[in-house]
Amino acid sequence: MDTRISVIIPNYNGGRTIGQCLEAVFASDFSRFEVIVVDDCSDDGSVGIIGRFPCRLIQLGIRSGASKARNEGARQSRGEILFFIDADCLVMPHTLSVVDATITGHEKTVYGGTYTPLPHDTDFYSRFQSVFINYSETRKAEPDYIASHAMVIERGLFLEHNGFPEVFLPIIEDVEFSHRLRRAGVRLRMKPEIQVRHIFHFTFRRSMRNAFRKSLFWTIYSMQSRGMTSDSGTASVELKLNVMSWFAAVCLLLLFAATGNRICIPAAGLVLLLNLAFNRGFLKAMLRARGFGFASAGVFYYSLVYPAAVAAGGLSGLLRYYTTDREGREG
């Protein structure tokens, strides 16, 4: 039987999740596919887990990063369509059938899927993150980028444009690739029905660390590409306004502490209320996902806690851009 879809999965020490990931792929209701796992020098025993499944295992000789792993998988693939996911993603039973029906010809279009609104995990921080990403990535039919955790692209188109950048920032290589494709006249389209269920294993600390790290590298890339104000997926205008509102409220409360001017307190409250009104789409998404209790906790976390990590990451990114990174470019 000919291979229609090549599912490409980069793996680095994914022993906690790669087994579940492969089980989900092979439980698909679609049959014309192959699975290629590219291992990036794991030392946690995950290669042994991969070996228990009927997939093709490619092992890189030196630690090279996810971009290199994805590119190598694409080069050795046999399918007409490449479907990129991550080792901590669980393909839904119908997902490959949707992928197959989505690409019907050589239309120079890359399609993006997303996470299910609710993840595999049951903790608050993982659920918050999954709702946040699902909402952010599906707001626009033609998004600013396609995430590599659910990217669908014709093999020829991928190879024609040289794949993901292998010398780049530690993350957001899918953003750079998407922007490069769009500049070349390739369309980016969101297909919300293409879904994978993510395994986060998030705690409060991991959630905040993730927000800091992504904000740091987003800021560096945005400064380099002059896109700081763009409405780009999870780096949306809504999130940026949320962080600015949090910062303004903090400044007003500090001003009250310093001067005793009571007008600062209602002013801070008004800023936060206006921000929630602007972010009402995300708030409705949290309400649909898990009801009022989850949405209430999500509002508190999103508007009063999460922005601290995003702001810290953004400031660190600016500092790095104007010092280390800029010096390197000028040197």
Domain map of the chain by residue range?
5-201, 224-330
Mean pLDDT in runs of 10 for the chain (331 residues)? 89 97 97 97 95 97 96 97 98 97 85 98 98 97 97 96 93 95 96 97 98 96 92 94 97 96 96 97 97 97 98 96 67 46
| pLDDT score for 331 | 46
Residue pair 71/139 in contact (Cβ under 8 Å)? The answer is: no
- Strand bridging mode 81-84 / 151-154: antiparallel
Q: Which two tokens stand for residue 28?
A: 């698909």
| pLDDT score for 302 | 98
In CATH, the number for domain 5-201 is 3.90.550.10
Q: pTM for the complete prediction?
A: 0.94
Q: Pick the closest to residue 227 from 176, 262, 275, 192 (CA basis).
A: 176
For residue 208, the SS3 value is helix
| CA triple 200-152-193, angle to 5 deg | 65
DSSP string spanning 226-277? T-TT--BTTB-HHHHHHHHHHHHHHHHHHHHHHH--TTHHHHHHHHHHHHHH
Q: Which two tokens stand for residue 118?
A: 């609710």
| pLDDT score for 324 | 78
As a whole number of angstroms, the distance between CA 41 and CA 62 comes to 6
Residue type, 78: R
| pLDDT score for 326 | 57
Residues in the chain: 331
Q: Pick the closest to residue 85 from 3, 153, 4 (CA basis).
A: 153
| pLDDT score for 160 | 96
For residue 193, the SS3 value is strand
DSSP β-bridge partners for residue 187: 109
